[in-house]
Each structure stands twice: as structure tokens, then as C-alpha cells.
């Protein structure tokens, strides 16, 4: 279970589906049995002592009508597409639950900033932009081969890394079916590698819980 500060106050915690029921029980033990309300993002808990928690459904989790159904739905293994990109690196995968069924990692060269005295700034910027475009094109080609044939069987596509790079990849018209099922959740990941992709498969299943300051 991870924890991080939330913009605007409070904190976020991420709980694996297998531990979610225990987390809710602990919340009830500390604050009293909460009322659960269905929301657009998942479930909102309000306890008798005023404490609250917002349980955001993992990508692809739908069709729940109450808290027990939400807990059960979060546990169900879903087939997810994964697209992680940063600079010239991309990692693609298909996961069932937290197990990768297929994966591909590729790295293309995109030059970092140079020290003063090298190429002119304009020439460097053009060269770097061309490298970035070529890398995004290669990543789109990979997505066409690895993810696109499976698009109809995916619950959703979970992306991570540099959002602008991901947006550029998915702007390829061939990938419109994948862009259409892109999840709102965007994973924060380091440079994509196979180990990062494995971790992302687990992170994509987690329930993100927002706890306001009073909780």
C-alpha cells in the first residue's frame, strides 16, 4: 500500500484489491460503521465521527451497486492494455489481473540537452524534435502490433509516464480503438523497462483512496 500527499489537502493511499476489504474494516473500526454512496468515481464512505474516504474504482471496474459489489468487482481479474512511455522509451503489455500475458519494451535515441558551445539552440531543437517524432512513430508501430489486435478484448487501456509522449503515440489514427478505451488514471512511472511494466500491471489494479485532512 502506497501513500502520497494529495493536491488540495489530505493524502492518497493505494490499496491492492486483495487488501481492500480489510482496509474498509479498519476504517470502520477507527471511525464507526460508514455509510457508502455510489459516485461517479467509485464509492464514498462517510463515518459517524465525520471521517470520510473516497474509493476510486480501478480502471475497467464497472457495474457495482453497493460496497460489497464494489469490493468483489475490484477483485475480478480484468484484461488490461498497458502503454508506458517516456522520452525515447516505451513499454507495452497485455495483463490479465497482475500477470503479463504479452509485453514489448523498446528504446529509441532522443538526445538530451547539450552544454553551451555545441550546436545552435535552434538546430539542436529541430534535431531533438525529429528524434522524438521518430521514437513516437516507432512506439505507435509497436502498439499496432502488440495492443491493437487485442483492443476488443481489453477492459481498458492504462497509460503511464510522460503524458505528452503518450498523447503523441495515441494520436496515430490506426490506434483510435485504443484511444477510445483509454482510462482516466495515468500512472507515474520511471523510464519504461520490463520490471516497470510488471509493477504497472499491479498498480493498474489498485484502488486509489483519497483521505481528506480530517481523516
Q: Which grid cell is 26?
A: 479498519
When pLDDT is cut at 50, 70 and 90, the band that residue 188 belongs to is very high
Residues 204-214 have a mean pLDDT of: 93
Domains of the chain by residue range? 2-77+206-211, 79-203
DSSP assigned state of 5: E
- Mean residue pLDDT across the chain: 89
When pLDDT is cut at 50, 70 and 90, the band that residue 77 belongs to is very high
- Helix-strand-coil split of the chain, %, nearest 5: 40, 30, 30
**Class of 79-203 per CATH?**
alpha beta
The contacts found for 200-204 with CB under 8 angstroms, 24 or more apart, are 200/82, 200/84, 200/91, 200/93, 200/158, 200/160, 201/80, 201/82, 201/93, 201/95, 201/97, 201/98, 201/99, 201/100, 202/16, 202/98, 203/14, 204/58, 204/59, 204/80, 204/82, 204/95, 204/158
Asked if pLDDT for residue 137 goes beyond 80, the answer is no
Render pLDDT for 85-102 as a digit per residue (tens, 0 to 9).
Answer: 987 789 999 999 999 999
Render pLDDT for 53-72 as a digit per residue (tens, 0 to 9).
Answer: 999 999 999 999 999 999 99
Amino acid at each position: 500500500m502506497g501513500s502520497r500527499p494529495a493536491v488540495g489537502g489530505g493524502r492518497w493511499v493505494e490499496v491492492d484489491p486483495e487488501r481492500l476489504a480489510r482496509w474498509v474494516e479498519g476504517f470502520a473500526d477507527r471511525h464507526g460503521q460508514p455509510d457508502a454512496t455510489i459516485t461517479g468515481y467509485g464509492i464514498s464512505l462517510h463515518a459517524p465521527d465525520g471521517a470520510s474516504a473516497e474509493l476510486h474504482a480501478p480502471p475497467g471496474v464497472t457495474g457495482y451497486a453497493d460496497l460489497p459489489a464494489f469490493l468483489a468487482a475490484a477483485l475480478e481479474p480484468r484484461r488490461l492494455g498497458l502503454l508506458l512511455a517516456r522520452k525515447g522509451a516505451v513499454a507495452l503489455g497485455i495483463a490479465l489481473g497482475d500477470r503479463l500475458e504479452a509485453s514489448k519494451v523498446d528504446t529509441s535515441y532522443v538526445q538530451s540537452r547539450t552544454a553551451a558551445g555545441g550546436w545552435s539552440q535552434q538546430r539542436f531543437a529541430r534535431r531533438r524534435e525529429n528524434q522524438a517524432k521518430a521514437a513516437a512513430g516507432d512506439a505507435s508501430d509497436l502498439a499496432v502490433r502488440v495492443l491493437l489486435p487485442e483492443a476488443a478484448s481489453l477492459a481498458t487501456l492504462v497509460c503511464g509516464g510522460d503524458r505528452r509522449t503518450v498523447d503523441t503515440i495515441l494520436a496515430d489514427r490506426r490506434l483510435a480503438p485504443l484511444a477510445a478505451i483509454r482510462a482516466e488514471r495515468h500512472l507515474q512511472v520511471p523510464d519504461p523497462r520490463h520490471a516497470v511494466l510488471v509493477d504497472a500491471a499491479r498498480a493498474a489494479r489498485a484502488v486509489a483512496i483519497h483521505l481528506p485532512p480530517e481523516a
